[in-house]
Structure 1
Amino acid sequence: MVMDEGVIKYHCDWIKGKSVEGFHITALMQKRDLMHSLGLIGVYENGIGFGNISHRINNSYQFIISGTQTAHFPILKPEYYTVVTNFNIEENSLTCCGAVKASSESLTHAAIYYYQPEIMSIIHIHNHQLWQELMFKVPTSNPDVPYGTPQMAKEMFRLFDEENLGTEKILVMAGHEDGIISFGKNLDEAANILLNFIDKTDLKSS
């Protein structure tokens, strides 16, 4: 499989600025750095980064997400987060405002927030053992659908409709090697779903 994690495939209208000023992102930063410390967000030996985290802004479709090409930082400072202010899944485009561009998986996050208004937080991690263990045991995206595309965003809709994703709150991205997404009504729920699966299967991070 060709590894192309971290490559932005959508059209990004990037408004460069200090977008997260005024937002309370301490909890978001803490959860992201925890995921990094566990090896669930990080960088492969070939230098390609993986993993990201986001949180919805109030009851809007806007959300704060870790920036692209930031997975190597053990501690991610506020300037490495950005705000997705608008998106169009059909056109494979989004607008973000911040000092960095939004993560390559931002459209997938957007699709989940769009489809499920009660979801407030999303975590995308990589762990090869857990990925293999959970494949087709929890909601699993079509292996032919690559990450960072409108097709993957639409796969989220299918998983909600056909595979009980709204209850499971975790999915395996079969076409995105090692990729797993969890979500919840807050950051704690999204993180605990992942950590509980890791504890139950006695896995170590990749």
Structure 2
Amino acid sequence: MEARNSEQEGVIKYDLEFRSTKITEPDFEPKLQVLNRWRSVLWRLGLVGQDPLRYGGLGFGNISIRIRGDAFLVSGSQTGHLSFLSTCDCAFVRDFDLARNSLIAEGECRPSSEALSHGALYDLHEGIGAVVHVHSPEIWQGFEQIGLRFTSETIPYGTPEMAFALQTEANALLKMSSSGVVVMRGHHDGVISFGRDLEDATMVLLSAHARAVKMKSRT
């Protein structure tokens, strides 16, 4: 089943107030090490990356980790081709407003186009410490068979509607577990996961991916 939305991958749709500067947050370096550790797993599996045959050759997928309050570190826009992220490949999101579709960030790289969706999940619950967004045709096409929650195919990525829809679905999942996976039906192949930390958020995503791949192999 194809989403009805036509979209262009990687386009930042939110209002961004960005300051180009070196990130100086005290916890930045250790958080970046953790982010790279789990991102490398996703990158090797092709869930995060860049492929000339997919999405017009643009980078896809992003990953973030909470720093303090609702502020978070997120992989930068169009960094999917990189197997390892350095300090200049990330952005620090200081604040955001879901209703106004706006975000304040700084760093040597602008934040991912999905940064507001990450913010929506941090805003939802203080127990969410990390968010992962990947592109998985297997999960996206087989989500019903493996029983995943999803947002409407009429809701495009990078919008307040998507942010609030993700909160609704994630809130339902939080009643049963500290982590979860939501399929973004209005964002081709888009899947987002969350958890207490990056291990939690990545492992629940990889479990869904394994189930989807297994299901696909049976058809």
TM-score if structure 2 supplies the norm length? Answer: 0.86
1:10-48 per-position Cα deviation (integer Å, ceiling 9, x unaligned): 011011111156411201111112211110001242212
- The change in CA–CA distance for 1:126 and 1:135 in structure 2 (over 3 A counts) is farther
- The change in CA–CA distance for 1:100 and 1:17 in structure 2 (over 3 A counts) is same
CA contact 1:135–1:174 (8 Å) conserved in 2: no
CA contact 2:63–2:132 (8 Å) conserved in 1: yes
Structure 2 match to 1:199: 210
CA contact 1:28–1:187 (8 Å) conserved in 2: yes
CA contact 1:182–1:193 (8 Å) conserved in 2: yes
Aligned partner of 2:40 among 25, 29, 33: 33
Instruction: Supply the distance in 2 between the matched residues of 1:7 and 1:43 (Cα, whole angstroms).
Output: 15
Structure 1 match to 2:164: 154
| Identical-residue share of aligned pairs (%) | 35
CA contact 2:92–2:106 (8 Å) conserved in 1: yes
Structure 1 match to 2:135: 126
Structure 2 match to 1:70: 79
1:8 aligns with 2:33: no
1:129-181 per-position Cα deviation (integer Å, ceiling 9, x unaligned): 121111482110011000001110111222145xx222361100000010111
Residue aligned with 1:104, SS: coil
**Deviation, structure 1 residue 201:** 3.6
| Bigger shift: residues 193-202 or 31-40 | 193-202
Instruction: Supply the distance in 1 between the matched residues of 2:128 and 2:81 (Cα, whole angstroms).
Output: 27
- The change in CA–CA distance for 1:104 and 1:20 in structure 2 (over 3 A counts) is farther
Aligned partner of 1:101 among 110, 122, 145: 110
Give the unaligned 5+ runs of structure 1: none
1:185 aligns with 2:196: yes
Structure 1 match to 2:58: 48
CA contact 1:20–1:78 (8 Å) conserved in 2: no
* Aligned length in residues: 201
Residue aligned with 1:69, SS: coil
Q: CA RMSD in A?
A: 1.8
The AA in structure 1 aligned to 2:40 is D
Give the unaligned 5+ runs of structure 2: 215-219
CA contact 1:144–1:175 (8 Å) conserved in 2: yes
Instruction: Supply the distance in 2 between the matched residues of 1:126 and 1:56 (Cα, whole angstroms).
Output: 22
CA contact 1:94–1:107 (8 Å) conserved in 2: yes
Aligned partner of 2:23 among 11, 19, 24: 19
